[in-house]
Structures are given as structure tokens and as C-alpha cells.
Amino acid sequence: MRVSELGVITHRQAQERYNRYFNVKFVSLAGDYNTCAQTCPVRHRVLSAMSEELLDKERGLMKASADPESYYRADHLLKETQLVLEATCRACTSNTVGAR
């Protein structure tokens, strides 16, 4: 937050960085949008970005904060997201195919 106060980065950038390293939620999958239309076409890219973010969470939560419980919650959340996203995208595909 200090770099935000110094004007080096914006408040939003500081918040995003903090969440990327120290929050169990993933900034890589933020947003309110239609999963079928927006996320499924690029789901591999989204999941890859989330995996990279998990490495940052390991640095922030495990190494800097010594909070393994939160890190393992983030890891579990990533695994759940992978399963749900895969099922959702399959359902989207079957709905599109069935509508033809």
C-alpha cells in the first residue's frame, strides 16, 4: 500500500497485487461475464494464468506470511475451479450443439 501512497502505482494496482499474493481468491478469474461466451473459449489460458498466480500465492502466503492454511485453500479453490469450468464448458458446448 505504501507504493500506492507514494504514487508509484494506483490504488487499484496495489489492491490487485495484494490479492494476487495474499488472498485465496484468484484475480486471474475476476469479472462478471458470461462463462460460456467469455471464459470457455480461452479456458486453457485462464487456467494457466491461475496456475501462475498460485505460484505467486505460494510466495506471498507460504513464504512471506507463513500462512500455509490460506495457501492450501487457494490450491483447493484452483482445483475446484478447474473441475467446475470443465463441466460448465462441456455443458455450454452441448447446449450449442443441441440448439442447431
Q: What is the DSSP letter of 26?
A: -
- Kindly give, in sequence order, each residue whose CB lies less than 8 Å from that of residue 70, ignoring residues fewer than 6 positions away: 24, 61
Q: What is the pLDDT of residues 29-78, one digit of tens each?
A: 876 668 898 889 999 999 999 999 999 999 999 999 999 999 999 999 99
Q: How many CA atoms lie within 13 A of 92 on its CB side?
A: 15
| Predicted pLDDT at 31 | 66
| Predicted pLDDT at 22 | 96
Q: What is the pLDDT of residues 18-31, one digit of tens each?
A: 999 999 999 988 76
pTM: 0.82
Confidence label for 83 from pLDDT (cuts 50, 70 and 90): very high
C-alpha cell at 38: 467469455
